[in-house]
Amino acid sequence: MVAELSTKLVAQVEQAAKLLRSAKQVCILSGAGISAESGIPTFRDKQTGLWENFSAEDLASPTAFARDPKLVWSWYQWRRELVQDKAPNPAHRALAKWQQGLALKNLASKQRLTLITQNVDDLHEQAGSEAIHLHGHLWRNRCSQCDSVFVESSANNEETKNAVEKIKRFSDELIACPQCGGYIRPDIVWFGESLPVEAWQQAEEAAANCEVFISIGTSSLVYPAAGLAQLAKQNGAKIIEINPNPTPSTVVDITLAAKAGAVMPLLVSTLEQSKS
């Protein structure tokens, strides 16, 4: 893996590890790019097949759902089918190893690491991490009208059981809310909607109080999440960005311009070595 990275990049990873070694609070924000190597397309990738004439911005919005709920629901069912068999990649796993304190046993009591994600997949959790989800969860559902959670496990009548089956089969048939009859939607924060209050408060607190902020695989275009790096910078943190492509972020101190799946294992093993 290291062979894929240039000497310059390896030196930059060491520089990043140096900053991280002395940090008591580290805040990490991950975006769609961290799941790209697991085979989940980002929003910047062109959509394929049936969906190639649609942009994500045109589908992931309350206006789109109000205009054509079946179209939006079908897109999410298609995304769920696409994501269902995907597994964490080395970037998710390296992060989990670090977070669990296995890699940094000696530092575990001194360092606090908060992982915030914009992703709606559960690959961080599958890898063993705890993450604050700013944009919701692909696998959860709620009512678009009365907001009640659609709890699959408590389906206690035939109609709801059938609905659960349809969701699991990735059927594009719309589901009616058992409480009010409104349409069920994915529990995801769409463009134009506000973020979950508690998750956002935790994210702001972690960003404002960290000494090092790492942004992994995010385009830094989607606000308010993109503002977290700025908040960290204003409070004196150093900013590290991991992304093979340039982003508009102007607050970055160290850019690690390579894929997260190559950089993260190296970064975590560099930290590990420095402690042994």
Q: Nearest to residue 245, comparing CAs of 206, 267, 274, 218?
A: 218
Q: E strands of 81-183, at which residues? A: 112-117, 132-133, 136-143
Residue nearest to ligand NAD (CB): 33
- Among positions 124-163, residues that touch ligand NAD (CB under 6 A) are 135
Give yes or no for residue 11 binding ligand NAD (CB under 6 A). Answer: no
In sequence order, the 6+-apart residues with CB closer than 8 A to the CB of 53 are none
Residue tagged active-site, from 92, 133, 135, 137: 135
Report residue 69 as tokens. 């709920």
Half-sphere exposure in the Cβ direction for 75 (13 Å, CA)? 20
Query: What is the nearest approach in angstroms of ligand NAD to the Cβ of residue 191?
Result: 8
Which of ligand NAD, Zn ion, none does residue 218 bind (CB under 5 to 8 Å by kind)? ligand NAD
H or E element in which residue 75 lies: helix 69-83
Query: What is the nearest approach in angstroms of ligand NAD to the Cβ of residue 37?
Result: 5
Q: Which of 99, 144, 160, 247 binds ligand NAD (CB under 6 A)?
A: 247
Give yes or no for residue 186 binding ligand NAD (CB under 6 A). Answer: no
Q: Nearest to residue 270, comparing CAs of 10, 6, 1?
A: 10
Identity of the amino acid at 158:
E
- Among positions 32-91, residues that touch ligand NAD (CB under 6 A) are 32-33, 35-37, 40, 42-44
| β-strands 25-30, 212-216 pairing | parallel
| Cβ atoms within 10 Å, residue 78 | 16
Whether 135 is catalytic is yes
Give yes or no for residue 244 binding ligand NAD (CB under 6 A). Answer: yes
DSSP 8-state assignment for residue 149? B
DSSP 8-state assignment for residue 196? P
- Contact between 114 and 132 under an 8 Å Cβ cutoff? The reply is yes
Q: Which of 77, 99, 111, 119 binds ligand NAD (CB under 6 A)?
A: 119
Which of ligand NAD, Zn ion, none does residue 243 bind (CB under 5 to 8 Å by kind)? ligand NAD
> Nearer Cβ to ligand NAD, position 74 or 243?
243
Which of ligand NAD, Zn ion, none does residue 178 bind (CB under 5 to 8 Å by kind)? none
Query: What is the nearest approach in angstroms of ligand NAD to the Cβ of residue 24?
Result: 26
- Indicate left, alpha or beta for 192 from its phi (over 0: left) and psi (-120 to 50: alpha): left
> Nearer Cβ to Zn ion, position 75 or 150?
150
Give yes or no for residue 266 binding ligand NAD (CB under 6 A). Answer: no
Q: Where along the sequence are the contacts to ligand NAD (CB under 6 A)? A: 31-33, 35-37, 40, 42-44, 118-121, 135, 217-219, 221-222, 242-245, 247, 259-261
Q: Would you please indicate which residues are annotated as catalytic (active-site) residues? A: 135
